[in-house]
Amino acid sequence: MIEVKNLTKKFKETVAVDNINFEVKSGEVFGCLGHNGAGKTTTIRLILGLLQPTEGKALVWGKPLSQHPDLRCKVGVLLENDGLYENLTGVQNLNYYASLYDVTSKEEQITGLLDFTGLANRCNDKVGTYSRGMRRKLGLARAILHKPSVLLLDEPSAGLDPEVQKMVRDLILNLAKEYNMLIFLNSHDLDEVERICSRVVILQRGKVVACDSLVNLRRQSSEPAVEITLAAGQPPQKAVDVLSTLDRVNRIVPDGNRVTVTFEKHAAPDPLPALIGAGIKVEEVKKLRRSLEDVYLEIIHREEKQ
């Protein structure tokens, strides 16, 4: 399990990570989100003990990894760089790391992972000849080779095609579920995070601006929205006029015969009676489920205004 307590990291004047706090438990898939330069990679490096905190601490199983090499045996990492040697073949790379991590039944484990990642037929080629996606896959295989209990991933699916992205997502979910693995991942890909993470922390300029389960984040931040589909031939402008007279409306966006209305927080939208009262025929009123992207952007913008 990971504990991050009052963690601060300064590089000269830059405060890369600014007094952040969170905890992650086994079996959790935990996402760390934020714009470029928000401090995600620095946070992972601090957890791994590659960097020393300026203040506070980052602990895994209650201890700093920098001082406990033995604990690092149970930690897997895939950083921005795949950690592979171009002059060695795929198998040689995996063999090397398997030895470093004291993996028992090396051969079996390596063959299994090569089959799983679909790299078996290229495994005796030098990694220098692999494509970006193949390297990332091999890097992931390398990271889970020793069946770690904690897996730290820095943008795991960057540069992968949609099919492989799905493979990576399924793998992550499976690892968390079957092996009760703790998975901490940095990502820009909100869609991916939404599909696999149970909890997220959002960083902005090194600070935590939100840390909660996805369900709670949606609930808290939600400005409720509805999408109204007008019956054929109905003038959208008239509907917009009617809708703008409603209470607590934030935004109205017409698009063809559809109108999206966003309300203020905690409002209970019910636009139908007003529309019917004005004689407008409506085909469908749909409550919109807000994506993580909406929630993320809302939180980031709200913080920026403050």
Partner 1 sequence: MNRSYIIARKEFKELLANRSTLLTSLGVALFFAIVYSMSLTAEGSVAGLISVDGTLFFLSIMLGVFMAYSLTGHVFYKEKTDRIIETLLSSPATLRQIWLGKTLAVTLVAYIMALTAMLVLITIASIRSQSFILPGAPVLFHMIIAVPVFIGAFVGLNGLAQMALGMKENRLLGFLIFIPLFAGLYGMGFSLGAVTSITWVYTGLVLLAAVLLISLAAFLVRFLSTERIVTTLG
Ligand X SMILES: Nc1ncnc2c1ncn2[C@@H]1O[C@H](COP(=O)(O)OP(=O)(O)OP(=O)(O)O)[C@@H](O)[C@H]1O
The contact set with partner 1 (CB under 8 A) reads: 11, 45, 48-52, 65-66, 69-70, 72-73, 75, 77, 79-88, 92, 96-97, 99-102, 126
- The stretch among 32-40, 61-69, 124-132, 276-284 that binds Mg ion (CB under 5 A) is 32-40
Closest approach, Cβ 73 to partner 1, in A, equals 5
Structure-block tokens of residue 102 = 């004291």
- The stretch among 37-45, 81-89, 134-142, 177-185 that binds Mg ion (CB under 5 A) is 37-45
11 Rama sector, left if φ>0, alpha if ψ -120 to 50, beta otherwise: beta
Nearer to ligand X, 203 or 280 (CB): 203
Give the one residue of 2, 4, 7, 16 binding ligand X; rule: CB under 6 A.
Answer: 16
Nearer to ligand X, 37 or 254 (CB): 37
CA dist., res. 234 & res. 241, Å (int): 13
- The stretch among 36-44, 50-58, 64-72, 89-97 that binds Mg ion (CB under 5 A) is 36-44
Closest approach, Cβ 79 to Mg ion, in A, equals 9
Answer with the entry of Mg ion, ligand X, partner 1, none that 100 interacts with (C-beta below 5 to 8 A by kind): partner 1
- The stretch among 10-18, 165-173, 223-231, 281-289 that binds ligand X (CB under 6 A) is 10-18
Q: Which of 113, 104, 102, 174 is nearest to 138 (CA)?
A: 113
Give the one residue of 7, 22, 40, 189 binding ligand X; rule: CB under 6 A.
Answer: 40
CA dist., res. 260 & res. 257, Å (int): 10
Nearer to Mg ion, 40 or 146 (CB): 40
Q: What is the DSSP string of 81-130?
A: S----TTSBHHHHHHHHHHHTT-SSHHHHHHHHHHHHT-GGGTTSBGGGS
Q: Hey, which residues between 182 and 221 contact ligand X (CB under 6 A)?
A: none
Burial class (CB in 10 A: 0-12, 13-18, 19+), 301: exposed
Distance linking the first and last C-alpha atoms of the chain: 33
Count of all residues that appear for the chain in the document: 306
Q: Any contact of residue 42 with ligand X (CB under 6 A)?
A: yes
Classify each residue of 162-194 as buried b or exposed e, where b means 16 or more C-beta atoms within 10 Å of its C-beta. Answer: eebbebbbebbeebbeeeebbbbbbbebbebbb
Query: Going by DSSP bridges, is the β-strand pair 225-230/258-263 parallel, antiparallel, or unpaired?
Result: antiparallel
Closest approach, Cβ 155 to Mg ion, in A, equals 7
71 Rama sector, left if φ>0, alpha if ψ -120 to 50, beta otherwise: alpha
Nearer to ligand X, 42 or 149 (CB): 42
Nearer to partner 1, 22 or 97 (CB): 97
Q: Point out which residues bind ligand X (CB under 6 A).
A: 11, 14, 16, 34, 36-42
Q: Point out which residues bind Mg ion (CB under 5 A).
A: 40-41
